[in-house]
Structure 1
Amino acid sequence: MAEYINVTTLNLLAKQVLEQCEPLNNLIVCGEVSNFTRHYKSGHCYFTLKDENAAIKCVMFRDKARLLGFAPENGMLVLAYGRATLYERDGAFQLYCDYMRPFGAGAAQMAFDALKKKLSAEGLFDADHKRPLPPMPQCIGLVTSKTGAALQDVIHIITRRWPMVKLLLAPVSVQGLEAEKSIVDGIRRLDADPRPDIILITRGGGSKEDLWVFNSERIARAAYACRKPVVSAVGHEIDTTILDYVADLRAPTPSAAAELCVPDQAQVRHEIFILQQNIQKNIQSRLEMCYNKFNIISPAAAMQNEKTGIDARTQLLRQTTAQIQAVAAQKAAACTQGLHTAAAVAASLNPYAVLARGYTMVADARGRCLTTEHLKPGQKITVIGSNAAAQCTVDAVAPTQGNPEKEQTDEST
């Protein structure tokens, strides 16, 4: 009896044989998509590629599916890049896809229109979201290949038109399997950098397949999410990509984009010169108007104006003088009245005014006024009246009535 193997071993042997077949490890398969399903949880894509005679099951894992630049649909003709082998558990011969793109003008246009319709419905193309470019940017971020002709064109145009601006390059791959991720990363890096005022995404011309990466949904969403204005300049004027619809401004070529991003220094200088001329003309015109108005006024009218001014000031001077004189008179009257009052008080306090009423003063030989209680017998005194003075000698000093104590004191003395 012949030896046998189990199913697992059979499938393993078949898989090993298939994997050792070099043509099956590097395939490009053309077929129509059917039964396309994207697993909601894992993100893997499962579908079938078929032609008029045969079909093969296909798998595209999540990390590869994320790089798709279009949304596959049933009935779409595509080119699938990958390897064919056996899925051991089910014994299913299937194609493991690493990359996929639409094939043929019809399929590519179908994918383009489907994505365009989807993004338009979400508002990514709305005019309200378009932002104006700054008139004089200080720094421009470039998302392009560092070896491409587009970069040289942009540098040349900007250096000639507005050399004051700085260029910040985010070097990316603009075609191939890694182009989509590279461009998305470049856009996000420049948007996070505070230096650029504008982000310019550009590449030179090429075939429709070369430019297809710029129809990527991921690139479109990255551009839409930018906080800074985005300018798209991909290919030539006849080339239109999804990125062109999302960008704030679309330029037909890289050179045209450079011209749109910066002003022309020659034009700015000319505008400044014209502005200076207009300012000078305006100032000269105003001076001439003032001069003409001055000349219109006749000398007689000028003199009359001066006379009117002088008369007004004369009247004001007279009024001020009258007010000053009135205040001075009031002050003088008040001072005179105060002087009279003071004189009356002083006169009432004058001891010589008492003498006029018949009283006399007694003074000693030195002219000092004395009271009677200070007199002594034999003392020489002068009795002073209002009109004459008499030299006298005190014979005796006697107390007046009403002061008996004084009298007793004098008697004992």
Structure 2
Amino acid sequence: MAEVITVSALNRYVKTLLDANDALFDLALRGEIANFVQNARSGHCYFSLRDEASSVKAVMFRADARRLAFRPEEGMRVVVRCRATLYERDGVFQLYVNDMFPDGIGTAQLALEQLKAKLEQEGLFALEHKKPLPAFPKCIGVVTSKTGAALQDIRNVLTRRWPSVRLLLCPVTVQGFEAAQQVADAIKKLDQRKEVDEIIVARGGGSREDLWVFNAEMIARAAYRCKKPLISAIGHEIDYTILDFVADCRAPTPSAAAELAVPDRAEQERILLDLQQNIRKNMQKRFDLCYNGLEQYNFVLEQGLARRNWQKSQGQLQQVQDAIRQQMQKRLHSAELQLGHAAALTGSLDPYKVLARGYTMVTAANGTILNADDLQPEKTIYVRSASRRAKCRVEAVEEINESTQKF
């Protein structure tokens, strides 16, 4: 006759057998959620995972449930990471789930819509939280891959439109498991830099799955907490992510983001030229008005009666003429000052005048201006001044610690 044991001993023995099986310790299961309940007090989630033929009970504790990027719902297809064992008290075979993912793009889209609705309800998309972009930024922080095409596109546009701006790159991985945390940390890091005027988060085009990381809740909340104006430039014009709704400005491409971030140098020059022309026209108009007024006085003086009246009140007329001359001189002086300021501002945009003051710039053989990142040992460069160009070879490139720089 078999040995008589207790129910507790049986359950404990079966649980020991299951826990000793390595194949049951880390499982990835696909199934449909059924009988989903989340305890309002404890936060634990209880449900069944089923397929066409079978079902198994499962539990997900609060610490793991809080990390979910979506809200599980009845009938949703998911993939779970779990371990299978026996709940000793009730003798129930069940799963202990530590992570859960939507199964398939349809369910993933549902999770995305749930997150979008949640963040919108919290006010992360509200227009009153959008910050205006600076008109003339001096330093732009960029969050993107250091090897991607997005960075080069941004550099090309900034060099063409507003070459005086400084670019500060915080390199990240733009897809994969660690990408979301890296992007969120990069936004926070650049936001803490005092010299940064605005931030661009960019990624080149790719599939929907490639861009999915920018739907992460941690990136959305990092962008919302960012005090600096933030431009999102993810994928192409037809691609939208959660970050686009939270950002202060959305650009269809990284190149478009660079265009939004800085003014156009050529356009600013045209504005200054128009201002200069308007000042000249206004000066000529005022001069003509004064001249016509003097002509009218001359006509009156040429008449006999007027001449006799003028002879009687010569002192009064002289005062009127002096007042007119003084007024003309004041207005002419004011217009000349305005013209001088406009001319000085226009001249300050000329890079060759900067060279004339003794500065130099480093270029390639074709005249392209090189920045610090382009300097490599043994590379041939040209040092350009106002009237000469020197051909040089780089012997070494040294990093300069910002804390030890002298200004």
TM-score, structure 1 length as denominator? Answer: 0.64
Query: Please, which of 7, 11, 14 is the counterpart of residue 15 of structure 2?
Result: 11
> 2:85 maps to what in 1?
86
Q: Structure 1 residues 275 and 88 mapped into 2: Cα distance closer, same or farther (>3 Å)?
A: same
The separation in 1 between residues aligned to 2:187 and 2:62, in whole angstroms, is 23
> 1:204, CA displacement in angstroms?
1.7
Question: How far off its partner does 1:26 sit?
Answer: 6.5
Q: Which residue of 1 aligns with 2:209?
A: 209
Quick one: distance in 2 between partners of 1:311 and 1:189? 74
2:125 paired residue number? 125
Question: Is there any run of 5+ residues in structure 1 with no aligned partner, and where?
Answer: 314-413
Map Cα deviations across residues 146-201 of structure 1 (whole Å, 9 max, x no partner). 23222222222222221211222222232222222222222222222222221222
Quote the offset at 1:112 in angstroms.
2.2
Question: What residue in structure 2 maps to residue 319 of structure 1?
Answer: none
Matches within 5 A, 1:175-186: 175-186=175-186
Q: Deviations over 1:201-260 (max 9, x none)?
A: 221222222222222223222212222222111111111112211111111111111111
The one-letter code of the counterpart of 1:12 is: T
Aligned AA for 2:273? F
Unaligned stretches of 5+ residues in structure 2? 319-407
Q: Secondary structure at the match of 2:20?
A: helix
Q: What one-letter code is carried by the residue in structure 2 that aligns with 1:13? A: L
Q: Is the 8 A contact 2:35 2:74 kept in 1?
A: yes
Q: What whole-Å deviation, never above 9, does each CA across 1:13-66 have from its counterpart, x for those lacking one? A: 32222x1x3xx6765433223444556677665544322223344455666555
Distance 1:216 1:312 in 2: 82
Q: Residue 270 and residue 13 in structure 1: after superposition, are their counterparts in 2 closer, same or farther (change >3 A)?
A: same
Amino acid at match of 1:73: E
1:308 partner letter: S
SS at 1:194 equivalent: coil
* TM-superposition CA deviations, 1:291-348 (whole Å, max 9, x none): 33323321663975575143899xxxxxxxxxxxxxxxxxxxxxxxxxxxxxxxxxxx
The answer for the alignment partner of 1:157 in structure 2 is 157
- Superposition pairs for residues 101-120 of structure 1, below 5 Å? 101-120=101-120
Counterpart in the other structure of 1:279: 279
**What amino acid is aligned across from residue 103 of structure 1 in structure 2?**
D
**Number of residue pairs aligned between Structure 1 and Structure 2:** 307
Q: Identify the residue that residue 68 of structure 1 maps to in structure 2.
A: 68
Matches for 1:305-324 after TM superposition, within 5 Å: 305=310, 308-310=313-315
For the 8 Å contact 2:58–2:94, the answer to whether it is kept is no
**Corresponding letter in the other structure for 1:8:** R
Structure 2 Cα separation of the partners of residues 126 and 208 of structure 1? 25
* Change in 2 beyond 3 A, CA 1:37/1:126: same
Shift of 1:133: 0.7
Task: Verify the 8 A CA contact 1:68 1:216 in the aligned structure 2.
Answer: no
The answer to whether the Cα contact below 8 Å between 2:202 and 2:234 also exists between their aligned partners in 1 is yes
- Could you say if the C-alpha distance between residues 155 and 44 of structure 1 is closer, same or farther in structure 2, counting changes exceeding 3 Å? farther
1:374 corresponds to? none
Distance 1:301 1:38 in 2: 102
Q: Which is further off, 124-133 or 103-112?
A: 103-112
> Structure 2 CA distance, aligned partners of 1:51 and 1:198?
50
Q: Letter of the 1:11 partner, please give it.
A: K
In structure 2, the residue matched to 1:337 is none
The superposition leaves residues 343-376 of structure 1 with CA deviations (integer Å, 9 ceiling, x where unpaired) of xxxxxxxxxxxxxxxxxxxxxxxxxxxxxxxxxx
RMSD between aligned residues? 3.2
Report sequence identity in percent: 50
Q: What amino acid is the match of 1:126?
A: A
Check conservation: 1:69, 1:215, Cα contact below 8 A.
Answer: no
Mapped partners of 1:39, 1:168: distance in 2: 47
CA contact (8 A) 2:69 2:115 kept: no
Give me the whole-angstrom Cα distance separating, in 1, the residues matched to 2:200 and 2:41: 36
One-letter amino acid matched to 1:191: D
Match of 2:223 in 1: 223
Moved more, 35-44 or 196-205: 35-44
Residues 310, 317 of structure 2: 8 Å contact kept: no
Report the CA distance shift for 1:223/1:311 in structure 2 as closer, same or farther (over 3 A): closer
In structure 1, the partner of 2:378 is none
Instruction: Return the alpha-carbon distance in structure 1 between the equivalents of residues 109 and 158 of structure 2.
Output: 35
Q: Which residue number corresponds to residue 367 of structure 1?
A: none
In 2, Cα distance between equivalents of 1:39 and 1:11: 25
Calculate the TM-score normalised by the size of structure 2. 0.65
With over 3 angstroms needed to count, the CA separation of the structure-2 counterparts of 1:91 and 1:36, relative to structure 1, is closer
